A = this chain, B = another copy of it.
Amino acid sequence: MTQNICLIIEYDGTRFVGWQVQPNGVSVQDVVEDALARLLGEAVRVTSSGRTDAGVHARGMAAQLRSPRQLPLKAYREGLNGLLPPDVAVREVREVDENFNVRFDAKGKWYRYTLYRSKVRSPLAARTSWHIRAPLSLPAMAEAAVFFVGHHDFSAFRTSGCAALTTERKIFSVTLSQEGDFLHVDVRGAGFLKNMVRVMVGTLVEVGLGKKKPRDVNLLLRGDLGAGRAGRTAPPQGLCLMEVWY
């Protein structure tokens, strides 16, 4: 008897090369598989709802494994949290259906990007936000954000190395919210291209700085401005994968 297990994982991505195993450093997947091997007594592979890049954080990464043992769900959570390093933890453990597929059954994802708006950088916020010194026009950013919502061709909003076969994606919502000096950009969508949220946020910031007009987002989505005309890719530490829905 095996168990089909889904783990909801939180991590501080600062020191990792990303979620996925890479030859050039430690990945989150590495430390999760190490902890599982110690808990279960044999090597187990995990698959995930998707990847996150180096330096990107997660509150709710979903990962799946076929466990060779039958354990109470609490034993996975507490056992793994005792074995994982301080910057990775299992928040929740679910036993899922035989046919569950953590990647293809995902209905949507919520990413949060955090900007820190201040003349002076903040050491306590440096690991989890992008510092923007110059004033940002929130009305312009909000106007631009609306264009992203819906079903569009996002080929202008990805970075090189994106191997996706199709570039159409559906975005459910893009919401801006302020919390003191922080500005959160919450993006919910059915799927994402490589670095798509970071290019979207980089473009919104250029709109906020007045370097682009809100309607440029519309032109980029319609292919009327050409790829390469989107904003810069926002740095990784501001991004957090908050939740994956099934």
Contact = CB atoms under 8 A, between A and B. Distances in A.
B81 A123 contact: no
A126 B14 CA distance: 13
A203 B169 CA distance: 53
Contact of A59 (B57, B87, B124): B124
Contacts of A175: none
Contact of A120 (B57, B77, B124, B240): B77
Contacts of A127: 12
Contacts of A91: 120
Contacts of A57: 124
B81 A120 contact: yes
A116 to B, nearest CB: 11
A211 B188 CA distance: 44
A89 interface: yes
Contacts of A81: 120-121
A60 to B, nearest CB: 11
Interface residues of A, number: 23
A25 interface: no
A12 B126 contact: yes
Contacts of A77: 120
Interface in A152-198: none
Contact of A89 (B12, B87, B120, B240): B120
A113 interface: no
Nearest to A87: B123
A137 interface: no
A92 B118 CA distance: 12
Nearest to A119: B77
Interface string A66-102: 0000000000010001000011111110000000000
B123 A88 contact: yes
Contact of A126 (B86, B92, B122): B86
A10 interface: yes
A86 B87 CA distance: 19
A52 to B, nearest CB: 13
Interface in A1-42: 10-12
Closest 5 CB pairs of A and B: A12-B123, A87-B123, A89-B123, A86-B126, A10-B123
Given A57-B124, A89-B120, A90-B120, 5 more contacts: A81-B120, A81-B121, A89-B121, A89-B123, A91-B120
